Structure 1
Amino acid sequence: MSRILIALYLLLCGAIAFRMFVPISDERQFSQTFRGEVQQRVKMGEGDRKSVLPMFKQVAEEFALQPEILRAIADHESGYNPWALNVEGKSYYPESKVEALSIIEKNKKKSFDVGLMQVNSYWLNKFDLSPAKALDPEENVRLGAWILRYCLDSYGYNWRAVGAYHTGSAKKHPVRSKAYAVRVLKKYKVLLDKSEQQIK
Structure 2
Amino acid sequence: MSRFIIALYVILCGGILFRAMIPADEGREFSPAERHEVQQRMKVADRERIPVRPLFSQVAEEFSLQPEILNAIADYESGYNPWALNIEGRSVYPDSREEALAIIERNRGKSYDLGLMQVNSYWIRKFELSPAEALEPEENLRLGAWILRYCLDSYGYNWRAIGAYHTGSPNNLPGRARAYAVKVMRKYNVLMEKSARSGK
Query: TM-score band (shorter)?
Result: 0.7 to 0.9
Aligned residue pair count: 168
| Larger RCO (CA within 8 A; separation ≥ 6) | 2
Rg larger for:
1
Within 5 A, what are the aligned runs for 1:106-121? 106-121=106-121
The whole-number CA distance in structure 1 between the counterparts of 2:117 and 2:33 is: 19
Corresponding residue of 1:175: 175
Corresponding residue of 1:21: 26
Q: Is the 8 A contact 1:151 1:165 kept in 2?
A: yes
Q: Which runs of 4+ in 1 moved over 4 A?
A: none
The whole-number CA distance in structure 2 between the counterparts of 1:111 and 1:96 is: 20
The equivalent position to 2:37 in structure 1, one of 30, 41, 45, is 45
Give the drift of 1:44.
Answer: 3.7
TM-score (norm 1): 0.80
**Residue type of the partner of 1:49?**
Q
The whole-number CA distance in structure 2 between the counterparts of 1:49 and 1:130 is: 22
Q: Is the 8 A contact 2:40 2:54 kept in 1?
A: no
More helix per residue: 1 or 2? 1
Could you tell me which runs of 5 or more consecutive residues in structure 1 were left unpaired when the two chains were aligned. 1-17, 24-33
The whole-number CA distance in structure 1 between the counterparts of 2:77 and 2:31 is: 22
The whole-number CA distance in structure 1 between the counterparts of 2:76 and 2:125 is: 24
Q: Secondary structure at the match of 1:21?
A: coil
Q: Deviations over 1:74-102 (max 9, x none)?
A: 00000000000000011111111000000
The whole-number CA distance in structure 2 between the counterparts of 1:77 and 1:40 is: 26
Q: Deviations over 1:91-128 (max 9, x none)?
A: 11111100000000001210000000000000001110
Percent of residue pairs identical: 64
**Given the alignment of the two structures, is residue 187 of structure 1 paired with residue 187 of structure 2, yes or no?**
yes
Superposed CA RMSD in Å reads 1.8
The whole-number CA distance in structure 2 between the counterparts of 1:50 and 1:97 is: 15
Q: Is the 8 A contact 1:119 1:144 kept in 2?
A: yes
Corresponding residue of 2:20: none
The whole-number CA distance in structure 2 between the counterparts of 1:40 and 1:183 is: 33
Q: Deviations over 1:138-195 (max 9, x none)?
A: 1100000000000000011000000000000001221111000000000000111111
Within 5 A, what are the aligned runs for 1:59-74? 59-74=59-74
Q: Name the stretch that deviates more: 67-76 or 50-59.
A: 50-59
Q: Secondary structure at the match of 1:195?
A: helix
TM-score (norm 2): 0.80
Give the drift of 1:56.
Answer: 0.4
Could you tell me which runs of 5 or more consecutive residues in structure 2 were left unpaired when the two chains were aligned. 1-23, 43-51
Q: Secondary structure at the match of 1:113?
A: strand
